[in-house]
Amino acid sequence: MRFTFPLMAIGLEVVMIVLFALFVQYDTGSNSSKANSTESPAIDVETSMDLYPHFQDVHVMVFAGFGFLMTFLRKYGFSSVGFNLLIAALGLQWGTFIQGIFHSHGQKFQIEIKSMINADFSTVAVLISFGAVLGKTSPIQMLIMTIIEITIFAANEYLVFEVFSASDIGESMTIHAFGAYFGLAVAGILYRSKLKEGHPNEESVYHSDLFAMIGSLFLWIFWPSFNSAISDNEKTQYRAIVNTYFSLAASVVTAYACSSLLESRGKLNMVHIQNASLAGGVAVGTCADMEISPYYAMIIGSIAGVVSVLGFKFLTPLFATKLRIHDTCGVHNLHGLPGVIGGLASIIIMALEKSDPVKMASQAAALGSSIATALAGGLITGAILKIPIWAQPSDEDCYDDSVYWEVPRRTEYDNRFHDLLDFTPLEREA
């Protein structure tokens, strides 16, 4: 770890700079000294800038939303928010390049605000997968996963939007389902059988759950922007915003209801509230810009909230015990299942509206492709990460910042009350 990590990070940054030098340009205007008005600039700056508020909202979701959502782990907050920042910062550069190259078919390409939104989107897939393996990998492994996953993500994205011409405005299939199943595949390969019974550090404490709510709320608040950012006209953009707004509201109410119902004394579970409240945003993501009335969105959101909580309650433990897939953040319940719901909802709605069967087939192909490439890509990536040269933490060292970070110093007294100070809720050896 000592040298591998810094050298790999610096190496990757150098590669990014070189690739940008070779392939990225702003606009024809900046390269030609004569402003030739007959040659239309490649970028209409004014239209591009219209998306800036959307970009800022997505940016908050990526860096503050996802970053803090994962700080629920009591001793892994630094890594959660810190590696989120690192993954996304590297990812957005690589995503810009890869997506640009795909669209320009290997030629130089330009960057618009829309490119930046799409680059941020590509990092979201990695951050979702990071959530599945949270606490069990090294930052070196995460750098590698970032590069590989974004490449496969971009390939699938191209397939879904350019080849299948599918519709997935909120990228529920291409980002959420993809990221979740990719992450689950990696988690499966990297499964640690000795941690079958759990790990003392894999818990939250009171204040880490409040930090996580910061992340959860910012994701919830800005999801309408996420689901409408890549609209190509204001009308569908507006529809996507309104549908997402109401789908999210519905998933909150049903998530609370379901969480309470499933506990013997009716108590709410913070993990459900932090995650399942958001399920409506994912589930409506594919059809948000379609001509559906808001109550369709509310139905989708209501279902998503319930499914998500049921997933946390029953599916995630099952995955861990029976399928040997340990999903730390339960990404399958927020991004996986709701992402699939999103894809299926779009097909159902098209059927209800008696759409062209070809369009329905595109949707199905998109969903299938996203899951298939995710699983395949995740298995390959998992195999690469399993090579024992990436400083993966030992079983004891999982979910523990002090492996990678200088954590504030302790005294002997603190060592005695170490758990106390760490706000441990666990059994202490006396």
Site for a copy of itself in 22-51 (CB under 8 A): 24-26, 29-30, 43, 45-46, 48-49
Residue from 196, 321, 368, 417 in contact with a copy of itself (CB under 8 A)? 417
| 384 interacts with a copy of itself by CB under 8 A | no
Which CB, 161 or 223, lies closer to a copy of itself?
223
- By beta-carbon proximity to a copy of itself, the closer residue of 225 and 370 is 225
Report the distance separating Cα 411 and Cα 122, nearest Å. Answer: 43
Residue 31 beta carbon to a copy of itself: minimum distance, rounded to whole angstroms: 9
Which sign, positive or negative, has the C-alpha torsion 256, 262, 268, 274? negative
Considering the complex, state which of residue 60 and residue 155 has its C-beta at the smaller distance from a copy of itself.
60
Residue 201 beta carbon to a copy of itself: minimum distance, rounded to whole angstroms: 13
Shorter beta-carbon distance to a copy of itself: residue 92 or 347: 92
Distance CA 288, CA 280 (A): 11
Write the Ramachandran bin of 143: left for phi over 0, alpha for psi from -120 to 50, otherwise beta: alpha
Residue 310 touches a copy of itself, criterion: CB under 8 A: no
Structure token pair of residue 199: 């790990």
In angstroms, give the least distance from the CB of 308 to a copy of itself.
Answer: 15
The amino acid at 17: I
DSSP code string of 326-385: --TT-HIIIIIHHHHHHHHHHHHHHHHTT--HHHHHHHHHHHHHHHHHHHHHHHHHHHHH
77 forms part of the interface with a copy of itself (CB under 8 A): yes
Shortest separation between residue 369's beta carbon and a copy of itself, angstroms: 29
Site string for a copy of itself, 197-236 (x = CB under 8 A): ------xxxxx-xxx-xx--xx-xxx--x--------xx-
Distance from C-alpha of 318 to C-alpha of 324, rounded to nearest angstrom: 9
Toward a copy of itself, which CB reaches closer, 129 or 254?
254
- Who contacts 3 (Cβ-Cβ below 8 Å, separation ≥6)? none
- Judged by CB under 8 A, the residue of 59, 176, 326, 335 near a copy of itself is 59
| Whole-number Cα distances in Å, 289 to 165, 227, 293 | 15, 8, 10
Give the span between the Cα atoms of 153 and 175, in whole angstroms: 8
Q: With contacts defined by CB under 8 A, name the span among 73-81, 329-337, 343-351, 357-365 that binds a copy of itself.
A: 73-81
How many Cβ atoms sit within 10 Å of the Cβ of residue 274?
25
Least Å distance, CB 383 to a copy of itself, is 25
By three-state DSSP, how is residue 29 classified?
helix
Minimum Å gap between C-beta 321 and a copy of itself is 20
Q: Find, among 201, 247, 255, 192, the residue nearest to 72 by Cα.
A: 201
Provide φ and ψ at 66, rounded to 5°.
-65, -40
CA distances from residue 76 to 69, 134, 328 in whole angstroms, order as listed: 12, 9, 12
Q: Please, which residue, 160 or 298, has the CB nearer to a copy of itself? A: 298
**Interaction with a copy of itself in 136-155: which residues (CB under 8 A)?**
139
Q: Rounded to the nearest whole angstrom, what is the least distance from the CB of residue 93 to a copy of itself in the complex? A: 5
Per CB under 8 A, 294 contacts a copy of itself: yes
Which two structure tokens, joined as six digits, stand for 412? 């002997």
101 counts as binding a copy of itself under rule CB under 8 A: no
Chain residues 321-380 in contact with a copy of itself, contact rule CB under 8 A: none
Write down the least CB distance from residue 185 to a copy of itself, Å.
26
> By C-beta, is 55 or 181 nearer to a copy of itself?
55
Q: With respect to a copy of itself, which residue has the nearer C-beta, 280 or 382? A: 280
